[in-house]
Structure 1
Amino acid sequence: MTPERYQRIRNMLAKRQTDLTVCLENVHKPHNVSAVVRTCDAIGIHKVHAIWESRYGIRRGTAMGSERWVGVDTHQNVGDAIRALKANNMQVLVTHLSDEAVDFRAVDYTRPTAILFGQEKYGATDEAIALCDKEIVIPMVGMVQSLNVSVAAALVLYEAQRQRQNAGMYQIQQLTEAECQRILFEGGYPVLAKVCRSRDLPYPVIDDRGQIAADDAWWAKMDINTSAFKSLLNA
């Protein structure tokens, strides 16, 4: 990993917002899921949540590689998902057109916040709406009453980013150093990270030049010599 790439990753990690997330309730179309994840990466969300009846993959072409940097926690049902979010002291918002819904721009996103988006055709389920703390709506004056889920997510999330930037929240690192080290190794040395996982070996430390700081014992357990190491990096 070059020093330039190391610094770029470090700068990204310093701005990650661990107390802001989205929850996708049975959003099944891969291009929608991938587009939401791409937006999450762009505004600094560290992890998203998804409720899927079965596992759906993230389409890499749409995500543009952002799936490597944004974690995805999956849940079997909406109740489990919302309980997990509230256990982290998050206010849980849901996009839903109703008399109780408030303009999405009227919400305080500097609080720990999760935003739930429902399935493409039917929206959020009644169970999800009942469990969430507040309903939000994106005002529209045309003939349509809803936006594509990825577009709706982008609008709400950039309002959250605007508020957090104004509050100086992107100037304070939220990720632990241990989590930063994990991401630096997996993002900077993905092939070696795969070898570590396959051999149940601990990740090494990445130094401030982006290089692996490991002793001879670690390299011996990896069973990689210098030439083999270069071959792995070029694979």
Structure 2
Amino acid sequence: MTPERIARLRGVLDRRQPDLTVVTDFVHKQRNLSAIVRNCDAAGVARMHAVIGDEDYTAFRGTSMGSHSWVEVVRYSCAEDALTKLRSEGYQVVAAHLEDDAVDYRDVDYTVPTALVMGAERRGLSASAANYVDRCITIRMVGMVESFNVSVAAGIILAEAQRQRQIAGLYDSPRLDPATYDKIYFEWGHAAVAQFCRERGLAYPPLNAEGEIDNPSDWYASVRRGDAPRSGANNG
């Protein structure tokens, strides 16, 4: 990799926010899901959670591989599985949903671990997801329409979360744990080799200071011999 490429990858990774995420609750339109993934990348979100059916997810994966290169998308079949896990990890769960007690989206503290739930395009937040929401938020409208498109709304709210986190200094130094940082760095810089390793259950080979595989001929020889290190926590 060139020095410029290394600097770009590390600059992005240094600003990733491990405790800010988005949960899409059966948002099925591919263009909206892809736009939300791009919004996540722009705000430094490392991992997004998609509650979605099998057919819709397959179609989504087939049309958004560029977005998936930078944001991990974890798929769930029901909202309960996603939100139970996040709440157990200490996340506050806020949902963009118009309720009588909904607060302005700017009145939420996004500097604490936060999961933002975005409901489906027409039906909104599901009853299953609503059971796990700590607070509903809304973007006040002054026109004739009642709401923004789901991906636009996600972008607006994430921009506020980013603003608050920048003021709090949460983008000033790396926040990913070292193992996760190194794993993502390898996958971004060597996507084809990472896929090769995952398919064969191999550990990612070490990189040198230039971001290249250290002694690649020795590593490939060990792969052919069958004694290359097997996968562990780095790329399980």
TM-score, with length taken from structure 1: 0.88
Cα shift at 1:60: 7.3
CA deviation after TM superposition for structure 1 residue 177, in Å: 2.1
Alignment check: 8 A CA contact 2:24 2:120 kept: yes
- Deviation string 1:119-145 (CA, Å, 9 cap, x unpaired) is 001110123223200000000011111
**3-state SS of paired residue (1:117):** strand
Q: Are the aligned partners of 1:196 and 1:222 in contact in 2 as well (CA < 8 Å)?
A: no
Aligned to 1:159: 160
Amino acid at match of 1:43: A
* 1:46–1:71 contact (8 Å) kept in structure 2: yes
The residue type paired with residue 163 of structure 2 is R
Contact 2:208 2:214 in 1 (8 A): yes
Partner of 1:58: 60
Residue of structure 2 in register with 1:14 after alignment: 14
8 Å Cα contact 1:195/1:222 also seen in 2: no
Alpha-carbon distance in 1 for matches of 2:59, 2:174 = 30
Distance (Å, rounded) in 1 between the aligned partners of 2:59 and 2:110? 29
1:231 maps to which residue? none
1:33-182 equivalent positions in 2, closer than 5 A? 33-54=33-54, 55-58=57-60, 65-182=66-183
Please report the TM-score for the alignment, with normalisation by the length of structure 2. Answer: 0.88
Q: Counterparts of 1:194 and 1:94 in 2: how far apart (Å)?
A: 35
- The alignment partner of 1:170 has SS state of coil
**In structure 2, what is the Cα distance between the partners aligned to 1:34 and 1:99?**
30
Kept in 2, the 8 Å contact 1:6–1:210? The answer is yes
Aligned equivalents of 1:58 and 1:43: distance in 2? 21
Aligned position for 2:228: none
Letter in 2 for 1:23: V
Using the TM superposition, give the Cα deviation of residue 171 of structure 1 relative to its aligned residue in structure 2, in angstroms: 1.0
Amino acid of the residue matched to residue 48 of structure 2?
V
Moved more, 209-218 or 147-156: 209-218
The secondary structure found in structure 2 opposite 1:72 is: strand
Identity %: 45
Structure 1 stretches lacking a partner, 5+ long: 224-235
RMSD: 1.9
**Residue 207 of structure 1: aligned partner:** 208
Aligned to 1:221: 222
2:4 equivalent in structure 1: 4
- How much has 1:91 moved relative to structure 2? 0.2
Please report how far the alpha carbon of residue 65 of structure 1 lies from its aligned counterpart in structure 2 after TM superposition.
2.4
Match in the other structure for 1:233: none
Aligned pair count?
A: 223
- Partners of 2:131 and 2:186 in 1: CA distance: 41
Cα drift, residue 180 of structure 1: 2.0
Distance 1:165 1:57 in 2: 35
- Aligned residue for 2:31? 31
SS at match of 1:171: coil
